[in-house]
Amino acid sequence: MKKILIAFIAFVVILWAPWIVFSSASLQFIIEDSFYSERIHVEITGLEKGLFYTLSAEKVIIRGPGGELLVFDSVRSRIDPLSLMMLKLRLTAAGNIGGGTFSGNLRLGKGAGQMLFDVKQADISKIPLLQKMGLQGTGTISGRVSLMYDSVTIVFATEKVSFEPSLVAGIKLPLNFFHKATGSLTAKDNIITIESVSLEGKDVFARLKGRIQNSLTDMTMELMPGRTVIENPLFLAEFERYKVSPGYYAIPVRGNLSL
C-alpha cells in the first residue's frame, strides 16, 4: 500500500512539475520563438496560465513586414503535458477572429512552428491580409489558415458577400459585380502570392492571379462577362479597353500598393 501511495505521489509530481516550473513568460517566449523569422513573426498579448495545462491570451497577432496579417482574440488553449516535458509543445486552441471563430492545433519548436486552424464566418473587413490586397466589402469568410514558421497560407470561401469597387495600384477592379469568391493565397517573406482567386457574380466570372512584392503588384484579373454585363454602358466605359477577345477581358494590375 505504501509503495502504491509513493508511486501515486511521484506520478502527480511528474505530471504537475513542468506546469509549475514554466512561467507564463517562458511559455510566451517558446511560442513566439517558434515562429520568429526576419519577415513573419507571432506576437502574443495578455497570456495567462490556467489550471492543468491551459492557457488564455487576449490576442495572438501574426505580423509581416507591413504590419498585421491576422489577429486572433480571446484565445483559449490546452497543452499536451508530455510535449511540454520534451520542450516541443503541442497545443489545441480556439477563439475568435474578425468576429468569427477559429479552432485548430499548433506544434511548436525553436524555428519550426506550425499552426493549422479552421476559420468560420470571419468578417472580411476585419482580416488585415485581405485589406492589404485591396478587398473591401461586407460579408463573411470561412476556410483554413496554415502558418509554417515563415509563411502564412489561407484557403477560403466567402459567404453572403458584397464587394465594393476597388482601386488597386491605381487600377479600378469591378469587384462589385461579384457575390462569391473562393481561392488561396500565401504570404512569405515580403511577398503575398495569390495562387488563384475565383469570383462569381450574376452573368459574370473572373479569376485573379499574381503577387504583391514589397509594395509592387504584378497581378492580372481575367474577366469573363455575359451579355447582360457587356451591354451595360458603365461596363463598356470602364473596361472595353481591356478586351482581348469576345467575352474575355484581361486587366493588368501593376504598380505601387501600400502594404
Q: Which of 50-54, 101-105, 242-246 has the lowest mean pLDDT?
A: 50-54
Chain mean pLDDT for the chain: 83
Residue 10 in this model has a pLDDT that exceeds 60: no
- Determine which helix (DSSP H) or strand (DSSP E) holds 229, and give its type and residue range: helix 227-230
Whether residue 99 has pLDDT greater than 50: yes
What is the sign, positive or negative, of the torsion defined by CA atoms of 164, 151, 115, 68?
Answer: negative
Q: What is the pLDDT of residue 14?
A: 52
Model confidence at 240, in pLDDT bands (50, 70, 90)? confident
**∠ CA 168-174-177 to the nearest 5 degrees?**
145
DSSP code of residue 46: S
SS3 35: coil
Tens-place pLDDT, residues 116-126: 999 999 998 89
Strand, coil or helix: 197: strand
Residues 176-196: tens digit of each pLDDT: 888 888 999 888 877 888 888
Cell numbers found for residue 151:
509563411
**Cα(112)–Cα(25) distance, rounded to whole angstroms?**
19
Let me know if 127 is exposed, middle or buried by CB neighbors in 10 A (0-12, 13-18, 19+): buried
3-class DSSP assignment, residue 42? strand
Confidence (pLDDT) at 170: 79
Residue 92 pLDDT > 60 = yes
What is the residue-wise DSSP string for 134-186? Answer: T--EEEEEEEEEEEETTEEEEEEEEEEEEE--EEETTEEE-GGGEEEEEEEEE
Global pTM value: 0.79
**Residue showing cell 494590375:** 253
15 exposed, middle or buried (CB, 10 Å; 0-12, 13-18, 19+)? middle
Q: How far is CA 196 from CA 176, 184, 206, 223, 256, in A?
A: 19, 6, 10, 14, 21
Residue ranges per structural domain of the chain? 23-157, 165-259
| Whether residue 100 has pLDDT greater than 90 | yes
- d(CA 69, CA 144) in angstroms, rounded, equals 14
